Amino acid sequence: MHVEKTPGWLDWFAGPSQPQFVLPLGAVDAHCHVFGPANQFPFAPERKYTPCDASKHQLYALRDHLGFDKNVVVQATCHGADNRAMVDALLHSGGKARGVATVKRSVTDGELQAMHDAGVRGVRFNFVKRLVDFTPKDELLEIAHRIQAWGWHVVIYFEAVDLPELWDFFTALPTTVVVDHMGRPNVDQAVDGPEFALFMKFMREHDNVWSKVTCPERLSLTGPAALNGQRQAYRDVVPFARHVVETFPDRVLWGTDWPHPNLKDHMPDDGLLVDFIPHIAPTADLQKRLLVDNPTRLYWPELLKA
Ligand code: 0GY
């Protein structure tokens, strides 16, 4: 079956460079996706975009190339609440991938248990209007209370401008809450300006809230241009991500966001993205917490008990 990609869709970067930054042993790419392949796992009818295929084999080849040990595969909106592609990726990872699902109120306990057995450890609530249709908050709250029984957490995706309106809902969530991409700050504003200050307050006042310090390629206005030939791209995002890492070193995660859905201007070289890490986590201790300790605590806690 051939599916037509969204016009202008950028395919992921083939042949990423070798990062200069050597990832610590046990590093986790804690935000990435699989798309299809569409002939095996069709995209959801209600999707807002149709991507290129991005298979589990390609994801795991990237993991090995970059030097990651494990992945957290997050359900992408093009698959709706049909989690089969993501679960299939987990089942073929040899225990090296955990997942975050999208579910509806109608999900059964048996389905949740099967996903748990496959390695799912969270659900994602998406509030980015270009990506999903609205789901009533009472439905989401009901889901959040149900998945607590499995020890799962909630991943939330929203844009900075919407945080004030969503604040009461987010702070009522009973689980650990992981924010995608720092709540998408506008990086032309000051790090200590009112918008990002609200995000920092959100984390400061709620110690169940974590943040992925991900997606400089999505947030940057300066883009991937290197500085003086250095492998330092997306420089305008550094102060935001570094502030979060240094303030909340035990509640941050990092991921590639491969295969980078919906980028319009450029497709990042994933090797260059890895070289962003030491700029936002400048010490070996911060790097180990960000890349190893925190994701292990959230997704593979059994390894810590061993
Ligand atoms: C991301 C960001 C985006 C897309 C999705 O599930 C998705 O479709 O998350 C986006 O378009 O900003 O985290 O991959």
CA of 200 to the centre of ligand 1 (A): 22
pLDDT of 1: 61
Ligand 1 nearest-atom number relative to CA 48: 8
One DSSP character per residue, the chain reads ---PPPTTPPPP-SSPPPPSSPPPTT-EEEEE--B--TTTSPPPTT-S-----B-HHHHHHHHHHHT-SEEEEEPPGGGTT--HHHHHHHHTTTT-EEEEE---TT--HHHHHHHHHHTEEEEEEE--TTT-----HHHHHHHHHHHGGGT-EEEEE--GGGHHHHHHHHHT--S-EEEGGGG---TTS-TTSHHHHHHHHHHHH-TTEEEE---HHHH-SSTTPPSTT-S---GGGHHHHHHHHHH-TTSEE----TT-TT--S----HHHHHTTHHHHS-SHHHHHIIIIIHHHHHH-HHHHH-
pLDDT higher than 70, residue 229: no
By most ligand atoms within 8 Å of CB, the mutation choice from 9, 33, 220, 258 for ligand 1 is: 33
Ligand 1 nearest-atom number relative to CA 181: 13
- In percent, how much of the chain has pLDDT > 90? 93
CA 198 to mean position of chain CA atoms: 21
Judge contact between 206 and 171, C-beta under 8 A: yes
Could you tell me the pTM of the whole model? 0.97
Residues 6+ apart with CB under 8 A from 115: 83, 87, 99, 101
Phi first, then psi, for residue 117 (nearest 5°) are -60, -30
What CATH architecture does domain 28-305 belong to? Alpha-Beta Barrel (3.20)
Judge contact between 246 and 211, C-beta under 8 A: no
Kindly report the protein residue whose alpha carbon is nearest to atom 6 of ligand 1.
76
Give the Cα-Cα-Cα angle 287, 291, 295 (nearest 5 degrees): 140
Ligand 1 within 6 A of CB of 51:
no
CA of 305 to the centre of ligand 1 (A): 33
Burial class (CB in 10 A: 0-12, 13-18, 19+), 123: buried
pLDDT of 226: 66
CA of 137 to the centre of ligand 1 (A): 20
Residues 6+ apart with CB under 8 A from 264: 8, 10
Q: Which of 53, 69, 257, 275 is catalytic?
A: 257
pLDDT higher than 80, residue 113: yes
Kindly report the protein residue whose alpha carbon is nearest to atom 8 of ligand 1.
77
Ligand 1 nearest-atom number relative to CA 31: 13
pLDDT higher than 90, residue 256: yes
* Long-range contacts of the stretch 188-193 (C-beta < 8 A, 24+): 188/221, 188/236, 191/239, 191/240, 191/243
**What does the pLDDT average to over 229-254?**
92
Q: Give me the residue spans of the domains in the chain.
A: 28-305
Distance set, CA 74 to CA 7, 122, 174, 187 (Å)? 24, 9, 20, 25
By most ligand atoms within 8 Å of CB, the mutation choice from 127, 262, 265, 270 for ligand 1 is: 262
Q: What is the pLDDT of residues 54-104, one digit of tens each?
A: 999 999 999 999 999 999 999 999 999 999 999 999 999 999 999 999 999
Ligand 1 within 6 A of CB of 257:
yes
Cis, peptide link before residue 164, omega less than 30° from 0? no
CA of 9 to the centre of ligand 1 (A): 13
Strand 120-126 versus strand 153-157 pairing type: parallel
Ligand 1 within 6 A of CB of 76:
yes
pLDDT higher than 70, residue 227: no
In the structure, what pLDDT confidence band is assigned to residue 224 with cuts at 50, 70 and 90?
confident
Ligand 1 nearest-atom number relative to CA 76: 6
Question: Does residue 239 come out as left (phi exceeding 0), alpha (psi in the -120 to 50 range) or beta?
Answer: alpha
CA of 162 to the centre of ligand 1 (A): 16
Catalytic annotation present for 293: no
Q: What is the pLDDT of residues 44-68, one digit of tens each?
A: 999 999 999 999 999 999 999 999 9
**What does the pLDDT average to over 262-288?**
95
Kindly report the protein residue whose alpha carbon is nearest to atom 2 of ligand 1.
261
